[in-house]
Chains A and B, each alone.
Chain A
């Protein structure tokens, strides 16, 4: 099984997941930091990497019911971090707590410490609106606004007050999302006329246009066909040159293909099976999780024995 997966990974074209896994799994381990400091900080040994998020004993509950319990992990700068696990394990909940989208559910409560570059995301002076400006999000189902393609991209910069020539901002965002050539002649068309894959890339463009530091992606490909999925995966690998990306996915191959780090969460039950919540089982380099997991539950899940 593990073998199959490695093959699957190495079959993917160059300049994609295969390389990243190689890099992450040790190429830079002994490298002198002075040679390529930037990459060392991103792909080198964990203790030297720059942290975007530091989660310490994070629990999220809805109206008293625990959804995620006691998660501690570091999410690294300009890495793609995948959250995987069976449905109901709270991976989306965890993701949404990173940019305070959980605030929209009145009964949601986040405990523990959740730091973004050392600053508490749930600190008393922190403004959720500003958090979401810095930490963008792409959703499971493409959700373009019922407006023109142009207005979809321009909405964020306009409302957040980003200065500059709007046409340039829109073009730049669409280019980075790999959508410019497809839509440059129909910027005034309604976004609902696009294909699902295009809509999702538009949502990514929309997110980029606000110039975030981090992009959170909540199962961004689950509503898309394989070809659109492949395009978005390629796009993610390009985007990580500039942004830190956290992706929730139920597709293990996807996690293996694109991510540098993988966190495996699982559903835990109380003895009487009355309540359930998600817990972090294992978090490590993607190559390690998929080739040599440290926990038997991870191995069972990855090899398809459970979940």
Chain B
């Protein structure tokens, strides 16, 4: 923590000097048409960069629509997979599997994520080493590759001590642990955005700390927390890598159950189709991508809208 104590003044001074030097240079340096032209080019360059970034990602969506839309029909949702009739095969067990997994994820991340965020923001004494450890730990967990969570799921959730086996519940626990840090971080930000004056006002009326949190802080932070949860759920819908390790890629034709073995999800089923060389399966995969994209993009857009709409100005 030694670096944390470095006085910010030196960095500020250095930057201020750099700014002043650059400005002075520009005053005494040549200026005029060349400079203006340079400015224009720079702006054009910036716009080009951003346009390419957005085009690249937009191309992906457009491609999915073009490639997948011919297969878009109710068959896609109501039919099970089939290697014999790819023209009518669908995602029914995969969609059900995804619903089970996501249901489990939501049931886990909302209480655990909000609970952890409330503890860290409202109760934790930052001078205690264990609280700082928890904080650093969450930041780092957010950056652990998803497939590593898959290994955790394989070693501890599918096998002992949890020994759930390769079932949707195991997938739900694995994915929930994966997205939990992002939920905690988002919920903490939302809770931190509630001004201290609200807490003081409530406590000064003789409300207990928990009453203050439950009746004042959490309702005020609700839209921010909801945004974080929706973004996490959207990510959970598209997450495939850890599920490969907890066994969600078996070829399933019957409807799954939450604790029953043999399940697949939308993204893992897409992956399974994409691996097959035949053209029909690739189109089927593209159609699956289309369903998933629609779901994820709608959820993300809703979450971002929700946050911008209800962003409280204190």
Touching chains A and B, CB distance < 8 Å? yes
A: which residues have CB within 8 A of B? 99, 101, 104, 106, 129-130, 132-134, 136-137, 139, 141, 143-146, 155-156, 159-160, 203, 206-207, 210
Q: Is B19 an interface residue (CB 8 A)?
A: no
Assuming the A-B contacts A106-B127, A146-B220, are A159 and B200 also in contact, with contact meaning beta carbons closer than 8 angstroms in the complex? no
Assuming the A-B contacts A106-B125, A106-B127, A139-B197, are A101 and B204 also in contact, with contact meaning beta carbons closer than 8 angstroms in the complex? yes
Q: Are B201 and A129 in contact (CB under 8 A)?
A: no
Interface-side segment among B45-53, B207-215, B235-243: B207-215
Q: Is B78 an interface residue (CB 8 A)?
A: no
Assuming the A-B contacts A106-B125, A106-B127, A159-B211, are A143 and B206 also in contact, with contact meaning beta carbons closer than 8 angstroms in the complex? no
Q: Are B205 and A156 in contact (CB under 8 A)?
A: yes
Q: Are A145 and B204 in contact (CB under 8 A)?
A: no
In the assembled complex, the CB of B284 is this many whole angstroms from the nearest CB of chain A, namely 49
B: which residues have CB within 8 A of A? 125, 127, 195, 197-208, 211, 215-216, 219-220, 312
* CB closest residue in chain A, given B212: A159
* CB closest residue in chain B, given A146: B220
Q: Are A160 and B197 in contact (CB under 8 A)?
A: no
Assuming the A-B contacts A106-B125, A106-B127, A146-B312, are A155 and B200 also in contact, with contact meaning beta carbons closer than 8 angstroms in the complex? no
For the complex, give the distance between the alpha carbons of A54 and B197 in Å.
28
For the complex, give the distance between the alpha carbons of A17 and B202 in Å.
31
In the assembled complex, the CB of A126 is this many whole angstroms from the nearest CB of chain B, namely 13
In the assembled complex, the CB of A130 is this many whole angstroms from the nearest CB of chain B, namely 7
Q: Are A155 and B205 in contact (CB under 8 A)?
A: yes
For the complex, give the distance between the alpha carbons of A141 and B195 in Å.
12
Residues of B within 8 Å of A141, CB to CB, are 197
* CB closest residue in chain B, given A131: B206
For the complex, give the distance between the alpha carbons of A146 and B208 in Å.
19
Q: Can you identify 11 A-B contacts, CB atoms within 8 angstroms? A: A129-B203, A129-B207, A130-B206, A134-B206, A136-B204, A143-B200, A145-B198, A159-B207, A159-B215, A160-B205, A207-B205
Q: Are B207 and A139 in contact (CB under 8 A)?
A: no
* CB closest residue in chain B, given A103: B203
Q: Are B197 and A143 in contact (CB under 8 A)?
A: yes
Assuming the A-B contacts A106-B127, A145-B216, are A160 and B201 also in contact, with contact meaning beta carbons closer than 8 angstroms in the complex? no
Q: Is the interface of A mostly helix, strand, loop or mixed?
A: helix
Assuming the A-B contacts A106-B127, A159-B211, A159-B215, are A210 and B201 also in contact, with contact meaning beta carbons closer than 8 angstroms in the complex? no
Q: Are B197 and A155 in contact (CB under 8 A)?
A: no
Q: Are A159 and B127 in contact (CB under 8 A)?
A: no
Residues of A within 8 Å of B205, CB to CB, are 132-133, 136, 155-156, 159-160, 206-207, 210
For the complex, give the distance between the alpha carbons of A97 and B201 in Å.
16
Q: Are A129 and B206 in contact (CB under 8 A)?
A: yes
In the assembled complex, the CB of A280 is this many whole angstroms from the nearest CB of chain B, namely 24
Residue in contact with A156 in the complex, picked from B197, B206, B220, B312, CB distance below 8 Å: B206
Q: Are A156 and B207 in contact (CB under 8 A)?
A: yes
* CB closest residue in chain B, given A143: B197
In the assembled complex, the CB of A95 is this many whole angstroms from the nearest CB of chain B, namely 11
* CB closest residue in chain A, given B214: A159
For the complex, give the distance between the alpha carbons of A146 and B216 in Å.
8
Residues of B within 8 Å of A207, CB to CB, are 204-205
Q: Is the interface of B mostly helix, strand, loop or mixed?
A: helix
For the complex, give the distance between the alpha carbons of A132 and B208 in Å.
10
For the complex, give the distance between the alpha carbons of A106 and B203 in Å.
15
In the assembled complex, the CB of A92 is this many whole angstroms from the nearest CB of chain B, namely 12
Q: Are A155 and B204 in contact (CB under 8 A)?
A: no
Residues of B within 8 Å of A129, CB to CB, are 203, 206-208
Residues of B within 8 Å of A160, CB to CB, are 205-207
Of B201, B207, B208, B211, which is in contact with the most chain A CB atoms at under 10 Å from its CB?
Answer: B201
Q: Are A145 and B206 in contact (CB under 8 A)?
A: no
Assuming the A-B contacts A141-B197, A159-B215, are A104 and B202 also in contact, with contact meaning beta carbons closer than 8 angstroms in the complex? no
In the assembled complex, the CB of A137 is this many whole angstroms from the nearest CB of chain B, namely 4
For the complex, give the distance between the alpha carbons of A73 and B89 in Å.
85
* CB closest residue in chain B, given A158: B215
For the complex, give the distance between the alpha carbons of A106 and B216 in Å.
21
Q: Are A99 and B220 in contact (CB under 8 A)?
A: no
In the assembled complex, the CB of A224 is this many whole angstroms from the nearest CB of chain B, namely 15
For the complex, give the distance between the alpha carbons of A20 and B211 in Å.
40
Q: Are B203 and A132 in contact (CB under 8 A)?
A: yes
In the assembled complex, the CB of B213 is this many whole angstroms from the nearest CB of chain A, namely 12
Q: Are B197 and A101 in contact (CB under 8 A)?
A: no
Of B127, B215, B219, which is in contact with the most chain A CB atoms at under 10 Å from its CB?
Answer: B215
Residues of B within 8 Å of A104, CB to CB, are 199-200, 203
* CB closest residue in chain A, given B195: A143
In the assembled complex, the CB of B165 is this many whole angstroms from the nearest CB of chain A, namely 46
Residues of B within 8 Å of A101, CB to CB, are 200, 203-204
For the complex, give the distance between the alpha carbons of A132 and B209 in Å.
12
For the complex, give the distance between the alpha carbons of A160 and B206 in Å.
7
For the complex, give the distance between the alpha carbons of A137 and B215 in Å.
19
Q: Are B202 and A155 in contact (CB under 8 A)?
A: yes
Extra inter-chain contacts (13) besides given A139-B197, A141-B197, A159-B205, CB under 8 Å: A101-B203, A130-B206, A132-B206, A133-B206, A136-B206, A137-B204, A143-B195, A143-B200, A155-B215, A156-B207, A160-B207, A207-B204, A207-B205
Residues of A within 8 Å of B211, CB to CB, are 159
* CB closest residue in chain B, given A99: B204
* CB closest residue in chain A, given B208: A129
For the complex, give the distance between the alpha carbons of A82 and B13 in Å.
44
Q: Are A143 and B203 in contact (CB under 8 A)?
A: no
Q: Are A143 and B201 in contact (CB under 8 A)?
A: yes
For the complex, give the distance between the alpha carbons of A133 and B215 in Å.
17
For the complex, give the distance between the alpha carbons of A101 and B197 in Å.
12
